[in-house]
Amino acid sequence: MDGFAEFLQVVKRGRLAQGNFLGFLNVVIGRRIQTAQGDVVSTGVPWRALAQELKKARWDKEAVRELGLDPKSLPPRDRERYWYAAIAQGQVGSAAAAAAGDRFVEVLAQAGYAVVSPPRT
């Protein structure tokens, strides 16, 4: 996941997910992300792996407010469980999340990433 960890750092440093955390989660979990050169960054990340990576990246835990969640309502001591619970409660597979994901794809395109959406049912 080295390429994915780098991707997370780019998104974090550039504050690309700020204001669209739900879209960020939707894209990272369910879509294929690649660089402009065609190198695959991710083919979709399982929730548990994403929770681990958000913990490693020391992602701002206040981001869950964008999901309508109160940080105090999530597991306070274990950051991996914190992020897993946030993802589970964030409705990342909803229609609203898919629309937010589509908006986030545009942000990633400006940052030099291409995202392949999953087939719609």
**5-55: pLDDT as tens digits:** 999 999 999 999 999 999 999 999 999 999 988 899 999 999 999 999 999
CA angle, corner 99, sides to 91 and 67, nearest 5? 35
pLDDT confidence band for 74 (50 / 70 / 90): very high
Task: Measure the CA–CA gap between 32 and 42, rounded to whole angstroms.
Answer: 6
pLDDT score at 120: 58
Residues in contact with 117: Cβ distance below 8 Å, sequence separation at least 6, in sequence order: 31, 101, 102, 105
CA trace torsion 66, 88, 8, 11 (10° rounding): -20
pLDDT confidence band for 114 (50 / 70 / 90): very high
Mean pLDDT (the chain, rounded) = 92
In this prediction the pTM is 0.91
Residues in contact with 73: Cβ distance below 8 Å, sequence separation at least 6, in sequence order: none
